[in-house]
Amino acid sequence: MNGGRAALCVEQKELVAEGVVRLRLVDPRGVRLPDWAPGAHIDLNLSNGLTRQYSLCGNRWDAMSYEIAVLLEPNSRGGSEFIHRQLQVGDLVQMGGPRNNFRLVPADSYLFVAGGIGITPLLPMIEHAAKMEAPWTLLYSGRQLSSMAFIDRLQSYGDRVVIRSRDTQGRFDLGAAVSNLRQGAKVYCCGPTSMIDALEQFCRSLPTGALRRERFTAKVQTSPARSTAYEVELARSGKVLTVEPGESVLNAILKAGAPLLASCREGLCGTCETTVLSGVPDHRDSILSDTERERNLSFYPCVSRAASDRLVIDL
């Protein structure tokens, strides 16, 4: 446990629609994975040097595995292509998070709008809305039916789910869908930018926070994950520690005898929060928002590492 979570293991890989693979990821030690809620994503540090974010689309009542689904992008910068063509069952892949910028919040009813692979974060949301017995509708469109993942999983929901192939049936009338919403409804959308932009226009008159969206043109992380050792300087004592890639910074600090309190050791609880004085962390926690990550003021040594050669921390 002191080594931090090094990697996840690809346990299953299966084609679930044209150009879409579903991966089942487990901890190679056979232990629980960190908790998550619908809307969460993980960062995968692929061994071709890229970091990509993927929504968790599996079942959180199974604590032993994560599921993601990856679309092979025609203009892939290497992430989806690597996963489709090179990543194999049994391979290890580095992980950060899970993090959640797209939380399911309480509502009297939900309208879910998915475009293509944007169905992934919405799948667990639908299951949650059903569990909470809130009325909901899913509008799910894709270019053609054969490339739309998880249609089979959605069958049991009957007419709450409306599936449409854009090539043969055209687009959804999102304006009408929004104007039919009752008071207290919330709208969740994940899909191409054009779809989100259109929906934003229609939702202008809804109350604050009624529209929640996730764009899947995720930002490229500025600092690539490193696979080599780095130095951590404890500013108050002047000690410089060398941290090997397989070791957690927390462990290195404790070995050096500095009193640093931790609790969950999974980047969830925030107990080991440490101030960064200089250097660039490679954040792997579930706590900081994107803005907070960019500020690089604090980090969680139980899971996070260094992206730069040296990190100076206030300890």
Partner 1 sequence: MARLSQLVPSSGHEPPILVDDPFSEAVLSSPFEFQHALREAGPVVYLSSHNVYAMGRFEEVRAALVNWQGFESGNGVGLFNPRHETPYRRPPSAILELDPPIHDAPRHALEQALGPRMLTGFRDGWARTAEIMVEELLNREVIDAVADLAEAFPLKVFPEAMGIPEEGRENLLLYSDHNFNSFGPNNALVENGRAAFTKLVGWMGQQGSRESLRPDGLGARIWAKTDEGDLTAAQAAGVIRSLLIAGLDTTVHALGAIIDAFLSAPRQWELLRAEPTRARVAFDEAVRWASPVQTFFRTATRDIGVAGTKIPEGEKILMFLGAANRDPRRWDNPDQFDLNRDPSGHVGFGMGIHRCVGQHVARLEAEVVLHELARRVARIEPSGEPKPHLNNTLRGWKTLPVRLIPA
Is residue 254 a contact point for partner 1 (CB under 8 A)? yes
> Of 1, 15, 235, 240, which lies in the binding site for partner 1, with binding defined by CB under 8 A?
1
**Reduced to 3 states, what is the DSSP secondary structure of residue 166?**
helix
Minimum distance from residue 185 beta carbon to partner 1 (Å): 11
Q: Does residue 74 belong to the site contacting partner 1 (CB under 8 A)?
A: no
- How far apart, in whole angstroms, are the C-alpha atoms of residue 200 and residue 196? 6
Please return the burial class of 135, using the count of CB atoms within 10 Å of its CB with bins 0-12, 13-18 and 19+. Answer: middle
The answer to whether the CB of 211 falls within 8 A of the CB of 187 is yes
Tell me the window of 136-144, 162-170, 171-179, 270-278 that interacts with partner 1 (CB under 8 A).
270-278
Could you write out the DSSP letters of every residue in 4-28?
Answer: ----EEEEEEEEEETTEEEEEEE-T
Q: Which of 16, 72, 151, 269 binds partner 1 (CB under 8 A)?
A: 269
The verdict on 60 binding partner 1 (CB under 8 A) reads yes
Residue numbers 182-241 binding partner 1 by CB under 8 A: 186, 207-210
Interface positions, 118-137, toward partner 1 (CB under 8 A): 128, 131-132
Stretch that binds partner 1, among 12-20, 30-38, 158-166, 305-313 (CB under 8 A): 30-38
- Residue 33's alpha-carbon distances to 51, 65, 132, 143, 287, in angstroms, are 19, 7, 24, 34, 16
Nearest to 269 by CA among 313, 300, 305, 304: 300
18 contacts partner 1 (rule: CB under 8 A): no
Distance (Å, whole) CA 188 – CA 120: 12
Distances (CA, A) of 224 to 220, 227, 281: 9, 10, 10
Q: Residue 187 Cβ, how far from partner 1 at the closest point, in Å? A: 11
Minimum CB distance to partner 1, residue 273 (Å): 5
Positions in the binding site for partner 1 (CB under 8 A): 1, 30-32, 35, 37-38, 60-64, 103-107, 128, 131-132, 186, 207-210, 254, 259, 261-265, 269-273, 287, 298
